[in-house]
Chains A and B, each alone.
Chain A
Amino acid sequence: MLIYTLKRLVVALLVALTISLISFGLLYLSGDPATTIAGESANQAAIEAIREQYGFNRPLYEQYFAWVGRALQGDFGTSFYFKVPVTDLIFERLPVTLGLGLSAIAFAIVLSIPLGVLAARYPNSIVDRLALTISVMGQAMPSFWFALLLIMVFSFMYPLLPSSGSETWVHFIMPTVVLGYYATPAIMRLTRTGMLEVLGADYIRTARAKGLRPRVVLFKHALRNAIIPVVSLSAVQLGFMLGGSIVVETIFALHGTGYLAWESIRRYDLPTVQAILLVFSLIYIVLTFLADLLNAWLDPRIRVG
C-alpha cells in the first residue's frame, strides 16, 4: 500500500510538472509578454527594458528550467503584476477559493444525496419528478445567469445579502448556492441510479425480510453501497469547483485564486499562473487520493483487495 501510494505521488508530481510545461508554452504563444506587461501606452524603450528585466530575451527552455529550479526550492518568485511574492499572493487568496469550494460541495451533497435517495425510494412518484426537475434546471442554467438572478432577487429586490466581497460568511451564501447547485445534478442522479440498483439487490430483500426498519435498510444497508461512486464523483466535482469557480468569483468579486489565475493569464503574470497551476494540480491529485481512501473505508472489499 505504501509503495503504491508513493508511486502514485511520483506520477502525480510528473503530471503536475507536465502541466506546468504545457502551460508555460501556451502562455508564451499568447503574445509578447513584455508588450502585455508594459501596457498599451508603453513605448518601445519601456518594452525593451521589461524584456531585459524579466529575462524574456533568454531562450524559452532556459526560462523554464530557471523557474523549475527555483520552484523545487519552494521559491515561486515574485508576481510580475503585484510585485509581491507569489506564495503570499496565493496563500492570501486560497482560503476564499477553498472555503467556497468546500461549502459548495457540502451544499451540493446535502441537497442532492437526500433527494437522490428519496427519488430512488419512490421512483416515478412526484418526489422523483421534483428531483428530476431540480436536476435538469441545475444542468440547464448557466451559473453566471443563476448568479445574476440571485443577486437581482436577494441584493436588489430584497436587499438581504451582499453581492460582492468576501469579508464575512454571509458573503459566501449566494456564491455557495450557485457553485454548489452546479454540481447537484450529477451527484443526485448518480445517487438515484446507485440506490435503485442496490435496492433491487438480494441482500436488501433479506434485510427487509429480517424485519429491519425501512430507514435502517435505506440508509445503513443501501446508501453505504450506493454512495461509493458518489464519493469519487464528489472529489472530482470539488476539484472542478476549485479550478472552475472563476465565473462565480468574478461575479461576486470574491478575489479567490480562480479569478487570480484567470486575470494572471490575461496579464501575463507568469510566476503566478505557474504556481497556481501547480497548487491546483496537487490539490486535485490529493483529492482523488483521499476519495480512494474514503471508498476503502466505506467498502471493505476495496480495503482488502
Chain B
Amino acid sequence: MTKGHISKIRYLALAGAAAAALCFGAPTAQAGKADDTLNIAWDVEVPNANMYFDTSRNGVIIAHHVWDALVWRDPATGDFKPALATAWNVVNDKTIELEIRQGVKFHNGDPMTADDVVYTYNYLAQPDNGILNRNFSNWIAKAEKVGDNKVRITAKDTTPLMMLYITELGIYPEKYYKEVGPDGMGLKPVGTGPYKITAVEPGKRLEFEAFADYYDSPKGKPSIKKIVQRTIPEMNTQVVELASGRLDWIWRVPQDQAERLEKSGRVQIINADTFRVGYLALNAAGGPEDSPLRKQKVRQAINHAIDVEGIVKNLVRGSSQVIHSACYPEQFGCTDDVKKYPYDPAKAKALLAEAGYPNGFNTTLYAYRDRPQNEAMLSNLAAVGIKADLRYGQYAATRDALRKGEVPIASLTWGSNSVPDVDAILPIFFGGLPDDLAKDTEVQGWLKDAASTLDQDKRKALYKQALQKIAEQAYWVPTFTYTTNYAISNTLDFKPTADEIPRFWTAKWK
C-alpha cells in the first residue's frame, strides 16, 4: 500500500467520524411523557381530516376527537348522554326534537348554535354532497329549527338506530364550512371536540392539541396536551420506535411480535376484542343447480369439519372468542342460543354421505386476509373429503365475485362499522342486499320487520329468530372474533374498547 492510499483511508475515516458525530446531535422525537405529547403511529395514510370524506377506521377515530355529536353514547354502559344537545324527545317513529346546548365554542372561537346543527344535518341529507361516509347519515330527511335552541330532525323511514346514528354525526360550523368547503375542512378542520387539529400533512402526519375551551362534556376533559400521529406503514419499524421510546402507542401488532415486545419489559401489551368477526360464507342459493352447497347437510358438514377452536388456540391466540352465531356477541340482538356444530370430522363425513357426497367434492375457497387461518381451514375441509382450491385476492375483487354469485365458499370478516347492534351485520348479509347469498325470504322478512320498529324487545325477538334459522340452515360458518394487540409505553394509562375507537381524551400519563 502506498502512502497515498493510507492518507485516503485516513480521510475516509475522518469523514465517517464526522458523519457519526452529526448523527449523535441529530434531533430525535422524545418519549412522550416528558413533553406531554402522545406519539402514535398508524400504518395507513389518512387522506384528509374531514370526517365525512374518509371511510377508514382512522377517519372515525379522528372524528371522535375533533367533532362532538348531539348525543354521546357511553361505550361502557351503552347509555345515551347529553353532548351538544342537552335533552331530546322522540316525537314519533320518524321525528326527534333536541334542545341544543348553549355556550359551546368551535375550535376557531365561533359559538355553536342550533343553526349549525340544522345546517350539518341538512348538508348530510343532500344526495349530491359528495360525502363518502353515508352509513350513519342516509336516514336523514331534513332538519329544521323549531325554537331558538331547538331542532327537529326527521327521518325518511322508521329508523330503530336513529339515536346511535346521531351519536356518530359530528356537528360542523356552518359559517366556516361554507367558507372553506370540504377540502379546506380536510386541511384545517374545525369542530367542538376535545382535541383540535393544529397541523395536517396529508398522509404523513397529524397534530392534535387539547381544546382549552372544551365544554363540560360527558366525554370528559382531555388530560394529555398534545397528540402527534405519524404514518409508519411497516410494523417492524413501529415496534422498534416504540421500544426505543420514539412512539408511545401502536396497535394491531401481530401476536408473535407482541409477545416478544412484552418480554422486553418496556411496553405493555393489551390484547382486546374487536367487533370484527370471521366467517365462511357459503353460497347456499346460488351457483350451479347441482352445487353441493345448496344442500343443508353439506353446509352443516362444513360447520362440523372446521376446527375453529383449534385455529383460535394455535393460530389466532390472544383473547379471541369462538362464535357460533352470525354476529359479534356484545352487539344488541346477538344471541348464542342457536344450533352449534362442534368439531367432529366423523359426523361431517356422515352428513356428506347422507347428502350424496360420500367421497366429498371439489370446490373453491376465496379469501383476502389471514392466510394461515385459511390454510388451516382448507386442511380441515380436505380431511373430510372436500378439496378446496384457495383463491387469494384483493378484498374488492373477492367481494365483486361474491356478489356475482361466482363464489362457492368465501372466507370473510366483518367489523360492523363498530356499530353495537346486529342491524350493522344481519341486514347486509341476510336482508336481500347484494351480499345475501342465502336469499332466505323468511329471514329477510324478519329482518325487515326488525328494522321498522322502535320496540327494542320486539327487535331482539325477531333477530333471535333470524339467527336461529341462519344457524340451523348453516348459511355461514361463524368462526371467531378478531382481537387486536395494543402495544403502549409503560408510562401510559390507556383502556381500549371493542369498537376499535381509541379514545385518547381518556388516556393519562401514569
Contacts and interface: CB of A to CB of B under 8 A. Distances in A.
A47 B417 CA distance: 16
Contacts of A31: 393-400
Nearest to B183: A83
B234 interface: yes
Contacts of B130: 53
Contacts of A44: 433-434
Given A83-B47, A162-B246, A164-B230, 6 more contacts: A83-B183, A83-B186, A151-B236, A161-B23, A163-B246, A263-B45
Contacts of A168: 26-27
A86 to B, nearest CB: 12
Interface stretch (B72-80, B85-93, B237-245): B237-245
Interface string B374-413: 0000000000000000000111111110000000000000
Interface of B: 4, 19-20, 22-24, 26-28, 45, 47-48, 53, 55-56, 127, 130, 132-135, 138, 182-183, 186, 202-204, 230-234, 236-237, 240-241, 243-244, 246, 393-400, 415, 417, 428, 433-434
B28 A83 contact: no
Contact of B415 (A41, A160, A161): A41
A141 interface: no
A160 B20 contact: yes
A180 B123 CA distance: 52
17 contacts: A31-B393, A31-B400, A36-B396, A37-B132, A38-B132, A46-B135, A82-B203, A83-B182, A83-B186, A84-B202, A151-B240, A155-B244, A162-B26, A163-B240, A170-B26, A250-B233, A255-B204
Interface string A226-253: 0000000000000000000000001111
B244 A156 contact: yes
Given A30-B394, A82-B202, A159-B244, A259 B233 contact: yes
Contacts of B393: 31
Contacts of B132: 37-39, 42, 46, 50
Interface in A202-238: 215
Interface string A253-278: 10100011001001010000000000
A37 B395 CA distance: 12
Contacts of A35: 396, 399-400
Contacts of B127: 49
Contacts of B53: 83
A91 interface: no
A25 interface: no
Contacts of B24: 160
B396 A30 contact: yes
Interface residues of A, number: 49
Nearest to B400: A32
B400 A162 contact: no
Contact of B396 (A173, A251, A253, A268): A268
Given A35-B396, A163-B237, A255-B203, A41 B26 contact: no
B237 A39 contact: no
B135 A41 contact: yes
B25 to A, nearest CB: 9
A148 B183 contact: no
A82 B132 CA distance: 12
B230 A253 contact: yes
Nearest to B435: A44
A159 B24 CA distance: 9
Nearest to B138: A45
In this complex, the member of B20, B232, B393 whose beta carbon has the largest number of chain A beta carbons within 10 angstroms is B232
In this complex, the member of B182, B230, B398 whose beta carbon has the largest number of chain A beta carbons within 10 angstroms is B230
Interface in A119-166: 148, 151-152, 155-156, 159-165
A224 B202 CA distance: 47
In this complex, the member of B22, B203, B204, B232 whose beta carbon has the largest number of chain A beta carbons within 10 angstroms is B203
A240 B254 CA distance: 32
B299 to A, nearest CB: 25
In this complex, the member of B20, B134, B138, B399 whose beta carbon has the largest number of chain A beta carbons within 10 angstroms is B134
A253 B202 contact: no
A46 B135 CA distance: 8
Given A42-B134, A44-B434, A82-B203, A164 B182 contact: no
B48 A83 contact: yes
